[in-house]
């Protein structure tokens, strides 16, 4: 299965502090999340322990919105949330 990240999602990655490796890890190990419009979503919480936009956060949750086209996963957009989840 190939992973295709459309330009919109690729532009959002640095804006939201998400790496290519994190995207692939979410797709491989993420848990299902709510998505609309026939799309699918996966999310995964990462240990972060770093600063983002001047504030310290223990964790980062990355959510991937994607569709399956044949054998490919096409990433539509990427969200990152900073905080703490148990």
Percent with pLDDT over 90 in the chain: 91
**pLDDT for 30-66, tens place per residue?**
999 999 988 999 999 999 999 999 999 999 999 999 9
* Domain extents in the chain: 3-83
pTM score: 0.92
Query: What is the mean pLDDT of the segment spanning 21-31?
Result: 96
Assess contact for 46 and 22: CB atoms under 8 A.
Answer: yes
Cα separation values, 50 from 8, 37, 70, Å? 26, 34, 38
pLDDT at residue 86, rounded to an integer: 76
């Amino acid at each position: 299965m190939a992973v295709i990240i459309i330009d919109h999602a690729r532009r959002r990655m640095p804006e939201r502090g998400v790496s290519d490796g994190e995207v692939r890890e979410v797709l491989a190990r993420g848990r299902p999340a709510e998505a609309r419009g026939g799309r699918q979503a996966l999310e995964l919480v990462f240990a972060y322990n770093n600063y983002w936009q001047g504030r310290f956060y223990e964790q980062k949750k990355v959510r991937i919105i994607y569709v399956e086209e044949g054998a490919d996963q096409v990433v539509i957009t990427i969200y990152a949330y900073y905080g703490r989840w148990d």
